Amino acid sequence: MAAILGDFTDRLLRNRMAMAGLVVVVILAVTALSASRIAPYAPDEIDTTQILMPPSRAHLLGTDTLGRDVLSRIIHGAGVSLSVGFVAVGISTLIGVLLGALSGYYGGYVDKVIMRFVDIMLCFPSFFLILAVIAFLKPSIWNIMIVIGITSWMSVTRLVRAELLTLKERDFVLAATSQGASDARIIFRHLLPNAMAPVLVAATLGVASAVLVESSLSFLGIGVQPPDPSWGNMLTEGKDNIEIAWWLSLFPGMAILVTVMGYNLLGEGIRDSLDPRLRQ
């Protein structure tokens, strides 16, 4: 195990694109955790004498229609977007791992029921499914987290199921079965630890997807609600003033782009580092 982990770490560190993604992810995490300390202004601080001011020394990324500092709102918005990403991915991963483990280990009728449910869920475009659910709920950050999580577990279920279909035929599983180990012990102690590599990749890529979905929902007005800062609702304000205040759209859009690109690069790097076909 130590040799495999060392080989994975070494190949990940040699992947320049993955390291670039890791740097972005670390910077975003530090920014989100220390937003109140590094933001030059409070995100809801209104200054009517500084409405729609372009980037300057006092306001590095300009101000919005209420005179609020755009940089400060982007910094605080990082915490909102990443919180949604991590919580939503945690929910989807938990559901996907549990259902995938049951489907792959037991097979038969259990497998058929779970996989048909997965097929039904995949028939609906995920974003429109989220919109349909959100339409019946009060827009809030917690509802966004939960809805994204419970509508994006299907790929994880398929990954875990595929891994367990192979692993359950291995000798160490047969040895555990012959010693009288319970199904729960075999699944959680022997099978799942060996099936988590593709789940790690899916979770990393899933954070980027969740951030993008949250931004889209907030842009449409059914996500995080003002005055709470979110990159999506900042883009909405920028759209309404695109002709006279270009900075309101450019900088939140760049924040979304860099975040999604960072997590995608890191996820691709982890996948390449875990691929046995690329090992020398």
Q: Residue 79 maps to which CATH number?
A: 1.10.3720.10
Instruction: Give the residue, 261 or 224, on which the prediction is more confident.
Output: 261
pLDDT at 74: 94
Does residue 63 lie in a domain region? no
Confidence of residue 265 (pLDDT cuts 50, 70, 90): very high
Two tokens at 108? 């038969």
Ranges 82-91, 126-135, 221-230, most confident: 82-91
Does residue 148 lie in a domain region? yes
Does residue 38 lie in a domain region? no
* CA dist., res. 230 & res. 156, Å (int): 27
Does residue 8 lie in a domain region? no
Q: Is 245 helix (H, G, I), strand (E, B) or coil?
A: coil
- CA dihedral of 36, 39, 42, 47, whole degrees rounded to 10: 170
Instruction: Tally the domains of the chain.
Output: 1
Amino acid in the structure at residue 111: D
Instruction: Check: CB of residue 176 under 8 Å from CB of residue 186.
Output: yes
Does residue 238 lie in a domain region? yes
Residue with tokens 């915490």: 79
* CA dist., res. 82 & res. 259, Å (int): 9
Give me the residues paired with residue 63 across strands.
69
Does residue 247 lie in a domain region? yes
* CA dist., res. 76 & res. 233, Å (int): 13
Q: The pTM is what?
A: 0.86
Contact partners, residue 278, CB within 8 Å, separation at least 6: 11, 272
Does residue 62 lie in a domain region? no
Confidence of residue 116 (pLDDT cuts 50, 70, 90): very high
Percent pLDDT > 90 in the chain is 34
Does residue 73 lie in a domain region? yes
pLDDT at 47: 86
pLDDT at 114: 93
* CA dist., res. 253 & res. 235, Å (int): 7
Domain range for residue 113?
Answer: 17-31+68-278
User: Mind listing the pLDDT tens digit for each residue in 141-200?
Assistant: 888 888 889 988 999 999 999 989 888 888 888 888 888 888 888 888 888 888 888 898
pLDDT at 276: 55
User: Mind listing the pLDDT tens digit for each residue in 102-114?
Assistant: 999 898 899 999 9
**pLDDT at residue 264 greater than cutoff 80:** yes
245-249: average pLDDT: 90
Closest CA to 153 of 112, 101, 218, 110: 101
243-258: average pLDDT: 91
Mean pLDDT score of the chain: 86
User: Mind listing the pLDDT tens digit for each residue in 47-93?
Assistant: 888 898 999 998 999 999 889 999 999 999 998 888 888 999 999 99
Closest CA to 87 of 1, 168, 148, 166: 148
Query: Exposed/middle/buried for 91, CB within 10 Å: 0-12, 13-18, 19+?
Result: buried
pLDDT at 277: 54
Instruction: Check: CB of residue 221 under 8 Å from CB of residue 236.
Output: yes
pLDDT at 101: 92
Instruction: Check: CB of residue 220 under 8 Å from CB of residue 233.
Output: no
Contact partners, residue 52, CB within 8 Å, separation at least 6: 62, 63, 64, 65, 241, 244, 245
112-133: average pLDDT: 86
Q: Does the N-terminal peptide bond of residue 40 adopt cis geometry, omega within 30 degrees of 0?
A: no
pLDDT at 131: 81
